A and B are shown apart, each in its own frame.
Chain A
Amino acid sequence: MRSQGRAEVPAHRVILANWLFSMKSLTKSSFFVLVTVLQPLIFSTIAFFMFKSGGRPGSLLYAALGAGLMGIWSSTLFGSGGLIQWERFQGTLELLIASPSQFMWILVGSTLATSTLGLYSVAGTLLWGAVAFDIPLELAHPALFVLALPATVIGLGTLGLVLASTFVLYRHANALSNLLEYPVWLVTGLLVPVSLLPGWAAPLGWILSPTWGIKAIRYSALGGNPVPALLATVGLSVAYLVIGTRFIAYFERRAREDATLALT
């Protein structure tokens, strides 16, 4: 007698199942509605008013896209940062590890879900901008824009994977998430050019995918060549994926071998 399950569940199936499941689960959380919908609307409104009353020349679309991406970062940060702790708190972590699906693919699906939900922020800020501030959505390279969005989502989702796996070592992951929201908005130039910041901020931004994601999105919307930034986003995603899965394999080993990282 054999079980009906499979000894090795294919990675794409695990990722897809977790992506869908996590999105469903997260949208039932009011905190997530706040982070992905309300907070970006409020921040974009602040930016619109500041740009208008400061007489900042240039497009309000610049601000709308930046605020949208700020939302993707918040969504990824709060969704992925405490992911493993949350599963542990619920008592589901050991069930996930005890399943024949590879834990790293489970996490890839879940962290991608957190950045995907950030698309609500982009849609929300663009729509809000159009309705309340008459910001037209005129895209310089529509096809590249459509390509840049999912690339950015993957870039942030895989960064979320790195967060999920490293935050395990920090007991209060939510506090760390609270800390990292504004600084990443700053050093990745989502709303303010990094050139206004001290010199050391820019190199920090280079290794973070939102820097390249926002460039790819802005150039494809407002004009310019988005292709190099698009490639950088994809390149970083691959790097994050390699680093993140290594960390997770390490976490799993420590948990099973020395029981130093508790599963429950």
Chain B
Amino acid sequence: MPVVGAPVVEAIDLRRTYKTSTGSLKRKSLEVEAVRGVSFAIEKGELFGLLGPNGAGKTTTIKMLITLLIPTSGTARVLGLDVVKDARAVRSQIGYVFGGDRGLYERLSGLDNLRYFAELYGVEPHEQKRRIGELLEMVGLTGREKERVEGYSKGMRQRLHIARGLLHDPPVVFLDEPTIGVDPVGAREMRAMIASLTDQGKTVLLTTHYMFEADALCDRIAVIARGEVVAQGTPGALKSLVADKTVVEIEVYGVNDESIERLRRVEGVSAVSVEERDQLQLLMVQSAVGAEITPALLAQFDGAKIGRVVAREPTLEDAYISLVEGDS
């Protein structure tokens, strides 16, 4: 039974290792630590973001919380229920939605998909019709529900996924990269839908690697990198981690790895990230020094053509980059 005031979702030192084997003749057993001691707590009605690059351990963490993976060590509770011991009770209290276009029965209609999962979640027959109608309305699929899913667009599939995850009106919802592959307009609608979940009193855990999405939606964010939580707090608090820094953006035509290494070693530089553009690379250099570092930075390129150079205030993305890059 949930205790009043206790966190709705609680992860305490969660760890998960995978055993894999490599080599075809001499098989070597390898242990990969995907999640290395993750802890956080989500309060009722909060929209909590788990932010991190691919392979950081986001999905493994979420799978432990939704009972699909048993933690190697550590504990996790949802509404006070243990995800290992009370797995079935946890499952009935949570909704799970993942991004991408898989996870639906293609040959059947959207309505069939929803009815089926309503049965699997034990939604009472007299409730089903009303609930499905409400959800179709909410995700904007009313009128399209009798069409086969194979004809749906990516955005429609994703909205159907959301409806499916909410069929049993779960108090806790887990969204694993729900906007992946959805076009910008569709993604904006999706974000509005996600924001409305907390208005209904639901507690939401969202994983994403889009910074602006986390910034726009989340009450609090945990940044996860290499299986560990490297920072936790409100978007504002995370931004303040880099508030004293300056970001110098440099466009370079054909930068080499050596130059980037040299940039990292320039005194005062705390993080460097590279974004590939069409013909050029956009380097973002964070430093505590301010714009006056710029000449020292520009001296590190051996002859590569340099385009626009701008110094600016840091954003949440810079905070994220500095956290993810920080202790590598």
Task: Using CB atoms and an 8 Å cutoff, list the residues of chain A in contact with chain B.
Answer: 1-10, 13-14, 17-18, 21, 24-25, 28-29, 90-92, 94-102, 106, 255-260, 263
Contacts and interface: CB of A to CB of B under 8 A. Distances in A.
A96 B108 CA distance: 16
A7 B92 contact: yes
Contact of B119 (A1, A17, A24, A102): A17
A84 B102 CA distance: 15
- The binding surface of chain A is classed by DSSP as loop
- The binding surface of chain B is classed by DSSP as loop
27 contacts: A2-B93, A3-B92, A3-B121, A3-B170, A3-B171, A4-B169, A5-B93, A5-B167, A5-B169, A7-B88, A9-B121, A9-B122, A10-B122, A17-B116, A17-B119, A24-B108, A29-B107, A91-B103, A94-B68, A96-B120, A97-B68, A98-B66, A100-B89, A100-B91, A101-B122, A106-B120, A259-B69
A92 B171 contact: no
B105 A92 contact: yes
Given A92-B103, A259-B18, A259-B69, A4 B120 contact: no
A197 B108 CA distance: 44
Contact of A28 (B88, B92, B108, B169): B108
B120 A14 contact: yes
A263 B92 contact: no
Nearest to A93: B103
Contacts of A13: 119, 122
Given A29-B107, A91-B100, A4 B123 contact: yes
Given A91-B102, A259-B69, 20 more contacts: A3-B92, A3-B93, A3-B121, A4-B124, A5-B93, A5-B169, A7-B88, A7-B92, A8-B88, A10-B122, A18-B119, A21-B112, A25-B112, A29-B107, A90-B106, A95-B103, A100-B91, A100-B122, A257-B70, A263-B68
B277 interface: no
Q: Which 9 A-B pairs have the closest CB atoms?
A: A91-B102, A5-B168, A6-B122, A17-B119, A9-B122, A5-B121, A91-B103, A100-B92, A99-B120
Give the most central of B92, B105, B112: most A CB within 10 Å: B92
A99 B117 contact: yes
A94 B102 CA distance: 11
B39 interface: no
B137 interface: no
B287 to A, nearest CB: 41
B68 A256 contact: yes
B202 to A, nearest CB: 8
Nearest to B148: A28
Contacts of B93: 2-3, 5
Given A3-B168, A25-B107, A90-B105, A99 B91 contact: yes
Contacts of B94: 3
Interface in B72-123: 88-89, 91-94, 96, 100, 102-108, 112, 115-117, 119-123
Nearest to B16: A259
Contacts of B96: 95, 98
A96 B103 CA distance: 10
Contacts of B106: 90
A257 B73 CA distance: 11
A34 to B, nearest CB: 15
A90 B104 CA distance: 7
A97 B63 CA distance: 11
B151 to A, nearest CB: 13
Contacts of A257: 70
Nearest to B86: A7
B121 A24 contact: no
Contacts of B119: 9, 13-14, 17-18, 21, 101
Contacts of B92: 3, 5-8, 100
A4 B131 CA distance: 10
A258 B19 contact: yes
B313 interface: no
Contacts of A260: 19
Nearest to B88: A100
B120 A9 contact: yes
A256 B107 contact: no
Contacts of A95: 96, 103, 117, 164
A4 B127 contact: yes
Contacts of A2: 93, 171
B232 interface: no
